[in-house]
Chains A and B, each alone.
Chain A
Amino acid sequence: MRCSRCGFENMPGQKRCFKCNSVLLTEDTPVTIEPPRMAGWKKPFRVFFRQVRRLNKGQTLDSYPGRLPHWLKNFSRSVLPGLLLSVIPGLAHVVQKKFRQVWYYVLAWLVFLILAIVFYGTVRGLVCYSLAIVLHAWIVIHASLRQYISDLQQRIIAIALVSLCIYGLYWLVALSIRDHVAGGYINFPVPYQNIESGDYLLVRLYPPGLRLYARGDLVLIQQYYRDHDFIVQVIGLPGETVEVIEGRYVINGIPLKNDIYPVPPFLQSWPFSSIIQENKYFISADFHLYRGMLPSKVDIGN
């Protein structure tokens, strides 16, 4: 049998050429001649990852020897330090100089975390939050426990256990943030600030009574009989007279602009007039949340 590449005459039955090691093709050898093709949807992803690689110059962190002390690299490879360092996803890998192995997990984790914040309070947000936790768990396992886990069952159990721990960790972080930040839905549009009805706004918390509010401030109201907190707008300050005339707020006889201080629909149907007591504010919202004036101490943030 003659080799098509080098022309060497091989013994019959040989599969590869004795001289050049090429595969010997016979009449009945099935050869696939159609090359694999790329699916169209993959193209933008490939372009993106290519750009990322190009920015990274295709180099690993190992290209920079001696950047980290050797003891730190060894320290990070043991189980407990690896777990502790992986509290920040990817940190253990950076120390171990193998971040390239997990950078896409870290990127995906970041994306899911951002999406979870964007869709906070919805099912989508919950799904993104869960995925972020699972990805974080996998990064932790990859950093320190991977060598001890061999089969799929062990991996699933490990991911479940580490996910639970990470959930607890996230909960602790959320609790610490909760003392300073809160969020609530707004039920009316404020065109001037490009806010639409149903938007979820985050507010910074102040100790009660510490801050005096200005007209137009958006403040969060905690309602213990509702599931969610709500954002309302401060319209009248203590001592002022608030009226609703022709669908606009009028403060001490001066009409306010409707796009900055929108009047809720239920207030537009009948004339309204009130004098605000001292230490109280007049707030505007698209639902009956509080009867009478709101004491300034109830406001929790803006």
Chain B
Amino acid sequence: MSRFTQLEFGEEPGKKPSKDQGEAIRNERYFYQEAVKYWLNGDFEPALRNFSRTLEKNSSFYEGWLGQILMLIELEEYPEALIWADKALALYPEHPEILATKAIACVRDAKIDKALAYSDNAMSKENISSRVWLARAEVMMERRSRMAQDCISNAISIAGKALPVVRLEAGKLLRRRKNYSSALELLSQAAKELPQSALAWYELGCCQAGMRFREAEVAFEQALKIRPDWDLAQASLKKYQKRGLFRRLFGRG
């Protein structure tokens, strides 16, 4: 565990933050919220660090394990994500969401057969969540199956409170597959529901740029307003602004 565990801060663990105390109690929930904040800003490296810190506080905090695997996938470290998913599966055997993340890692690492097996396994469990459906959709898209759209619809229909994030994830997935028209609808709604998410605006911008919509510039600028030092958004904005005369003339929107 951490070398700071013996330090006394004068706070009791699990105590709710109050306005009088000023700073919030740094328990696993606090770091989890921080991690999610970084994640929604597209800053995956600090998000991963914060997910690790949640586990430092509470090693049986499931969301921390899942978040770490997802961040490793976002950072394109797929073999590491698989190793970590296996470790998480030792703690949470046969958990459908972890199996689904394994499927995502495999499908992005172009190991389609394995991805399908993991996805099948995840789908065979009870109480499957939106994430499992999204993983299924990704595998189906890789196999160019028409069922992918149904899987996304299912994911959205059972999302509940996580609907904005599910829309964002589904939009990202569709945008990566260059299905811009479907992605645009989801990402527009996600950007409306998560206005402080640089990632949502960036994804929306990429989608609009893919469709040659002039609103892409606004979306990239909005992403940069939330996270000014984001190299990826800056590069995308510059690339969009430097588009050729033909595209400028015939751009839509």
How near does chain A come to B59, taking the closest CB pair, in angstroms?
4
Quick one: which of B65-123 are within 8 Å of A by CB? 68-69, 72, 75-80, 83-84, 87, 90-94, 109-113
Q: Known A38-B79, A58-B111; judge A25-B93 contact (CB<8 A).
A: no
- Asked whether B112 lies within 8 Å of A58 as measured between CB atoms, the reply is yes
- Asked whether A35 lies within 8 Å of B59 as measured between CB atoms, the reply is no
Q: Known A4-B60, A23-B90, A25-B59; judge A35-B109 contact (CB<8 A).
A: no
- Asked whether B113 lies within 8 Å of A33 as measured between CB atoms, the reply is no
Using CB atoms and an 8 Å cutoff, list the residues of chain A in contact with chain B. Answer: 4-5, 20-23, 25, 29, 31-38, 43, 46, 50-51, 53-54, 57-59
Chain B binding surface, main DSSP class? helix
In Å, the complex CA distance between A53 and B108 comes to: 11
Interface flag for B48 (CB, 8 Å): yes
Task: Name which residue of chain B comes closest to A43, CB basis.
Answer: B76
- Asked whether B77 lies within 8 Å of A23 as measured between CB atoms, the reply is no
- Asked whether A22 lies within 8 Å of B77 as measured between CB atoms, the reply is no
Task: Name which residue of chain B comes closest to A38, CB basis.
Answer: B77
Task: Name which residue of chain B comes closest to A32, CB basis.
Answer: B87
- Asked whether B110 lies within 8 Å of A54 as measured between CB atoms, the reply is yes
- Asked whether A23 lies within 8 Å of B110 as measured between CB atoms, the reply is no
- Asked whether A25 lies within 8 Å of B48 as measured between CB atoms, the reply is no
- Asked whether B77 lies within 8 Å of A37 as measured between CB atoms, the reply is yes
Q: List 27 A-B contacts (CB under 8 A).
A: A4-B60, A20-B93, A21-B94, A22-B93, A23-B91, A25-B59, A25-B91, A31-B55, A31-B59, A32-B87, A33-B55, A33-B56, A33-B59, A33-B64, A35-B72, A36-B80, A36-B84, A37-B77, A37-B80, A38-B80, A43-B76, A53-B110, A57-B112, A58-B110, A58-B112, A59-B112, A59-B113
> Which A residues lie within 8 Å of B84 (CB)?
35-36
- Asked whether B93 lies within 8 Å of A21 as measured between CB atoms, the reply is yes
> Which B residues lie within 8 Å of A58 (CB)?
110-113
Q: Known A23-B91, A58-B113; judge A33-B52 contact (CB<8 A).
A: yes
Task: Name which residue of chain B comes closest to A16, CB basis.
Answer: B93
> Which B residues lie within 8 Å of A50 (CB)?
109-110
- Asked whether A22 lies within 8 Å of B92 as measured between CB atoms, the reply is yes
How near does chain B come to A87, taking the closest CB pair, in angstroms?
32
How near does chain A come to B68, taking the closest CB pair, in angstroms?
5
> Which A residues lie within 8 Å of B110 (CB)?
50-51, 53-54, 58
> Which B residues lie within 8 Å of A37 (CB)?
77, 80
In Å, the complex CA distance between A59 and B64 comes to: 34
How near does chain B come to A58, taking the closest CB pair, in angstroms?
4
Interface flag for B30 (CB, 8 Å): no
Task: Name which residue of chain B comes closest to A54, CB basis.
Answer: B110
How near does chain A come to B109, taking the closest CB pair, in angstroms?
6
How near does chain A come to B129, taking the closest CB pair, in angstroms?
15
How near does chain A come to B111, taking the closest CB pair, in angstroms?
6
Given contacts A35-B83, A58-B111, 9 further A-B contacts (CB under 8 A): A4-B60, A22-B91, A25-B60, A32-B87, A33-B55, A36-B80, A38-B77, A38-B80, A46-B109
> Which A residues lie within 8 Å of B112 (CB)?
57-59
In Å, the complex CA distance between A21 and B90 comes to: 9
Task: Name which residue of chain B comes closest to A21, CB basis.
Answer: B93
> Which B residues lie within 8 Å of A57 (CB)?
112
The 8 Å CB contact of B80, one of A21, A25, A35, is: A35
In Å, the complex CA distance between A25 and B58 comes to: 10
> Which B residues lie within 8 Å of A5 (CB)?
60, 62, 91-92
How near does chain A come to B14, taking the closest CB pair, in angstroms?
15
In Å, the complex CA distance between A162 and B54 comes to: 56
Q: Known A4-B60, A5-B62; judge A34-B52 contact (CB<8 A).
A: yes
In Å, the complex CA distance between A23 and B65 comes to: 14
How near does chain B come to A52, taking the closest CB pair, in angstroms?
8
> Which A residues lie within 8 Å of B93 (CB)?
20-22
Task: Name which residue of chain A comes closest to B90, CB basis.
Answer: A23
Task: Name which residue of chain B comes closest to A57, CB basis.
Answer: B112
Task: Name which residue of chain A comes closest to B72, CB basis.
Answer: A35
Best-buried of B48, B69, B112 by chain A (most CB within 10 Å): B112
In Å, the complex CA distance between A195 and B74 comes to: 48
> Which A residues lie within 8 Å of B62 (CB)?
4-5
In Å, the complex CA distance between A35 and B84 comes to: 6
